[in-house]
Structure 1
Amino acid sequence: MTPYGAPGASGGTDLPAELGELALRLIRIPSESGSEAAIADFVEERLRRLEFLEVSRLGDAVVARSDFGRGRRVLLAGHLDTVPDTVPAQPAELVDGAVTGRGAVDMKGGVAVLLRLAEHAVRTAGHDCTLVFYDMEEVGSHRSGMNRLSRLHPELLRADAAILLEPTGGWLEPGCQGSLRVSAAFRGRAAHTARPWQGVNAVEVALPALERCTAHKPEVVTLDGLRYPQALQVVGVAAGGDSNVVPDRCVVHLNARYAPNRTKAEVLAELRELLGPDATDLDVTLDSPAAPPALDHPVLTRLSELVEGRVRPKLGWTDVGRLAALGVPAANFGPGDPELAHGPRERVGLAELAEAYEALEKVISG
């Protein structure tokens, strides 16, 4: 990283302090999922001051694009919402060189970095840039603003490469696991529990499949030198109603986390085999596609060089999977310790904000 005081590192300003102040302003705007209008207004107003950006407001998502005709386009994205304030949070303040408060880590620190890049780096960057600030990320894939954009306005997300500023502690986490949730029904025959031999308990019909699924241990897959463990979990079993009736239907819910070298069809075929012939009404309730690491893309290669080997696989799913499904190689990289997200001790250091800013400034410089 360039030292903060070095020429070009922050344009002669106190970069960490500027980013901290901007993050504080964002944290002080309440923006629980579904209530992002005020923070979207704040972001939109700042972006519309920049005459070189084309700004679109789509609900409470804001997209800004430069169009200088440069050779490559880099998309940078972050979400505006926070989880509900169900856990007491620290007040929004600057304490011991860090910004605290709801969303400091996930992910208003990252949004502050994005806004400052728009205002101080995009105009002179070597690549054209798209900056996406979206809503409803914390409440499920179906309601996500990025999902809405990808379905209704995919042209706004076209880019050569993308970086999602999810908190990664300054590590580069390329790609992501896929996530597939399915439900399957097992049929029995109802009877009175005093005469169970007159019926067939659907839970007992489901037991062999449950045993196969719980015993299944998917392999670890290595891609681009990164180890992606896979997992299959039974996350729900529902059967019966009245306590004096043998249940005639049992529904099993599964969640498969799969490596980026596999497809939904391959994973679904594996699940069908594990569930066996007694499973009926197989239904995919969530399909979040995996994203390959794509570290050979020049933009992501450059970022991996800048983080000096701090590269690890992304365990879990993020919107880089949605971007990859649109043909955009993508990675996660942002300030803040992800283990502090959604908790009562959210805090992001000013130095972390500055380091993320400087790395991304160099990436978009070409």
Structure 2
Amino acid sequence: MTDGITEDAVLELLRIIVSIPSINPAFRMPGDDPASFGEAALARALGDWLEANGIAAELDEVTAGRPNLVARIAGRSGGPAMLWEGHLDTVQVTGMEAPFVPRLENGRLHGRGAVDDGGCVAAFLLALRALSRDPPPGDVEFCAAMDEEYAYKGVLHHLDRGGSFALGVAGEPTELQVVRACKGCVRWEVTLEGRSAHTARPEEGMSALDAGRRLLDLYDAEMATRTGTHSLLGPATLVTTGFEAGEGPNTVPSRARLRFDYRYLPSETGAEVYKAFRAVAEGLAGALPGIAVTVGAPFVDSSAMDVPDVASVVSRMAAICRERGLPDAAIGVPFGSDATKMVNLSAIPTIVFGPGRIEEAHSIDEFVEVADVVLAARMLVDLARATG
């Protein structure tokens, strides 16, 4: 019996995934084609593929018109159950030429969603099909989630359904390495309001732009006090991702808005980080009388994770990497994924694993190596069979 995991099978799935647009609606801009947004069409197509291959599939609607796709393989002997999770949504396609036309070149499948998260989703689906023909010891449940790229509603909804899982795999491009730790991310905005004036008499105004510059200095000083680090992740980081100010070329700016992205360590929480930086920003009002400060609530807070090196999912996949001649040392990454929710909300020891490089995700020329997807699928099968 062959496992059915071939490059042709990978290409069949990747062509479906790329050719059916599934941009997260959070990224829709005026004038965009509404047909390119949302996960429903892709979820239906992949559900049809599962059904055609004898695997029952469920479209579980999370919000109106935006479902998760869920499938399950029953284990043969009551072994530990496993949750696999990938995501259906992609980011925007600005600057791409023919983003939804799959293109095969030199063993690489190009197009939006090819590596993030198409390669992982294809690997999961082909592994499920192989396992359906020869079931593993324990149950394997797969959730292809909506909304991973913005607010994580898909994975949160799926975890709320309940279920007991001994281990998990979240699919993201990791170059087939085992990721057991990642940074969290909290994002917020600060609005500063001053007083406009003619630039010929700037002393009559209060520049919100200058106040924003002062805020950046204060945030740098706060970062200098944060000396914690992690053996796999390094230090926390803060990036200013937006700074908007100014009404006209001869007007003292009366309003400024700044946006921040803080990547935090497993020893921190987003709530603690936000509270500290909110206090710093609010202190600016006392230091600069006349400046009003409003710190918006976090619009993203995705937790960090640090799964122990001795967790069974880590050690078992490391052993599979060794058997395949791949690096077996578990690593940490600065980017987040739905794995953190599986770990921190449902206590499922979870690794991040998948084909492709994170550098290709969200890029103008996104691609995945077809051979790597084949190998990832076979490694997932190995992991399910080793879980007894």
Normalising by structure 1, what TM-score?
0.82
Deviates most, 230-239 or 243-252: 243-252
1:64 maps to 71
Pick aligned residue for 1:31 from 21, 31, 43:
21
Take 1:89 and 1:172, find their aligned partners in 2: how far apart are those partners? 33
In the superposition, relative to structure 1, how do residues 270 and 192 fare at CA in structure 2: closer, same or farther (>3 Å)? same
Structure 1 segments (4+ residues) deviating >6 Å: none
Tell me by how many angstroms 1:259 deviates.
1.0
In the superposition, relative to structure 1, how do residues 183 and 350 fare at CA in structure 2: closer, same or farther (>3 Å)? closer
Identity of aligned residues (%): 27
Cα shift readout 1:198-248 (whole Å, capped 9, x = no counterpart):
3332333343321132453544622xx523332112222233424444334
Take 2:157 and 2:219, find their aligned partners in 1: how far apart are those partners? 33
1:46 maps to 49
Q: Is the 8 A contact 2:282 2:294 kept in 1?
A: no
Take 1:343 and 1:148, find their aligned partners in 2: how far apart are those partners? 23
Take 2:104 and 2:210, find their aligned partners in 1: how far apart are those partners? 58
Take 1:100 and 1:237, find their aligned partners in 2: how far apart are those partners? 34
Pick aligned residue for 2:126 from 112, 116, 131:
116
SS of residue matched to 1:175: strand
Work out whether 1:128 is the aligned partner of 2:139. Answer: yes
Mapping of 1:132-171 within 5 angstroms?
132-138=143-149, 140-141=150-151, 146-151=152-157, 154-155=160-161, 159-171=165-177
Normalising by structure 2, what TM-score?
0.78
Take 2:379 and 2:227, find their aligned partners in 1: how far apart are those partners? 34
Amino acid corresponding to residue 36 of structure 1 in structure 2? E
In the superposition, relative to structure 1, how do residues 52 and 235 fare at CA in structure 2: closer, same or farther (>3 Å)? closer
In the superposition, relative to structure 1, how do residues 81 and 160 fare at CA in structure 2: closer, same or farther (>3 Å)? same
Consecutive unaligned residues in structure 2, runs of 5 or more? 24-36, 286-292, 323-327
Pick aligned residue for 1:103 from 104, 113, 126:
113
Q: Is the 8 A contact 1:210 1:275 kept in 2?
A: no
1:357 maps to 377
Deviates most, 14-23 or 48-57: 48-57
Tell me by how many angstroms 1:35 deviates.
4.2
Tell me by how many angstroms 1:49 deviates.
5.2
Pick aligned residue for 2:206 from 200, 210, 220:
200
Consecutive unaligned residues in structure 1, runs of 5 or more? 1-10
2:294 maps to 281
Work out whether 1:76 is the aligned partner of 2:79. Answer: no
CA RMSD in angstroms comes to: 3.0
Tell me by how many angstroms 1:313 deviates.
0.8
Amino acid corresponding to residue 272 of structure 2 in structure 1? E
SS of residue matched to 2:197: coil
Count residues in correspondence: 349
Pick aligned residue for 2:247 from 218, 228, 241:
241
Q: Is the 8 A contact 1:183 1:251 kept in 2?
A: yes
Amino acid corresponding to residue 315 of structure 2 in structure 1? T
SS of residue matched to 1:121: helix
SS of residue matched to 1:132: strand
Q: Is the 8 A contact 2:67 2:146 kept in 1?
A: yes
Deviates most, 31-40 or 281-290: 31-40
1:261 maps to 267
